[in-house]
Chains A and B, each alone.
Chain A
């Protein structure tokens, strides 16, 4: 059994991660999923959240704003609609976005409730990541 597998995280405008990793944990639509080498092929939608992975002892993380994950025999591919390194996140701005999203959620009519909900979810993930891993 191989000790590592290749993890690729891509967004529409860049390839964020391409590394050999020993394990990864991804925010699946129906709950977090842990992936180890030789995982069975799998396809899932991702929810906004924190994608963490380990490379030989060191832990890293990436915030994803939803997307899809494909586990292949050759490696894992994450196609994220948005993704950021936690150290790129400005905690103040993220917090402001979260407050805004929550306020909107309280005020909003039914029409854009799903959008506001998604925005709040994304903002929460970013704040959590920035607080945990950021500068």
Chain B
């Protein structure tokens, strides 16, 4: 039978934990708001750029100069590929990290003919894949605290260059898309070769520059912006996931405190009752 002291200690310790989880929840909520605004602000540019690229690509389709563009070239067979895994630097965010890590791992294992490398954004992804013996071609940290465009662009430039050289035949990015505070959805998207969406719109444009020239300047930017958007989505998702996880943890702590308090009171009453019985029976023995 644990004594009263033990119960008190346990309650105090759970309360301490609860204070921490509550604080983390508050911090995440504040960060989430900022991250959410950043995602929403970045979406118009990414969407418009995608549409513009589609329009230009349609105009340039078939021209030899466009086929020469390295970032558009489709390789006949994909032998080497890179998956950019966007995870968090820190844990305690529920299923956030394991979601993206497991999703990326499954994606790679489903295509046994391809040799994959992992370009990791975020410490947790790097740790996960290093432990499992994957080749890590690059490791980038501290992106999610405050994402900086040039940092992300540097990663995009690196994979684009390797792609253009022919070292790799495809590049994918795995990240948690921010749907809402409660739901984050794992996405694995191809970013190289640049997937062109066929637009139904058939407007005839006046081109100030030849379409191939426009395409050549748009493509690298597109890769950057797609990666940038993934990082922002992932950042917002991370804070949302952490907030939800910490909320659940705080509630669990309340439950534990309630249960232990109840047990403690039972034990306390039992001992009081026992003492009364002892006093009463001692008194009656004297009669």
Contact = CB atoms under 8 A, between A and B. Distances in A.
Interface string B228-272: 100000000000000000000000000000000000000000000
Contacts of A43: 52, 55-56, 205-208, 211, 214
Contact of B44 (A10, A73, A81): A10
Given A12-B149, A15-B41, A40 B206 contact: yes
B22 interface: no
B209 A79 contact: no
A72 to B, nearest CB: 7
B46 to A, nearest CB: 8
Interface in A45-84: 45, 68, 70, 72-73, 77, 79, 81
B45 interface: yes
Contacts of A15: 41, 44-45
A77 B48 contact: yes
A45 B217 contact: yes
Nearest to B218: A68
A12 B41 CA distance: 8
A42 interface: yes
Interface string B28-70: 0000000000100110111011001001100000000000000
A8 interface: yes
B45 A29 contact: no
A88 interface: no
A29 B221 CA distance: 17
A13 B41 contact: yes
B204 interface: yes
A34 interface: no
A41 B207 CA distance: 9
B205 A8 contact: no
B269 to A, nearest CB: 62
Given A43-B214, A68-B218, A73-B203, A13 B208 contact: no
A41 B205 contact: yes
B157 to A, nearest CB: 14
B44 A44 contact: no
B225 interface: yes
A30 interface: yes
A42 B203 CA distance: 10
Contacts of B218: 68
A85 interface: no
A4 interface: no
A95 interface: no
- B52, B203, B208: which has the most chain A beta carbons within 10 Å? B208
24 contacts: A8-B44, A10-B48, A12-B149, A12-B225, A13-B38, A13-B42, A13-B45, A28-B208, A30-B209, A33-B208, A41-B206, A42-B206, A42-B208, A43-B52, A43-B208, A45-B208, A45-B209, A45-B214, A68-B214, A68-B218, A70-B48, A70-B55, A77-B48, A79-B45
Interface of A: 8, 10-15, 28-30, 33, 40-45, 68, 70, 72-73, 77, 79, 81
Given A13-B45, A40-B206, A45-B214, 8 more contacts: A12-B42, A13-B41, A30-B209, A41-B205, A45-B217, A68-B217, A68-B218, A79-B48
Q: Enumerate the 6 nearest inter-chain pairs by beta-carbon distance, A residue then B residue, closest first.
A: A44-B208, A10-B45, A14-B41, A42-B206, A41-B205, A41-B203
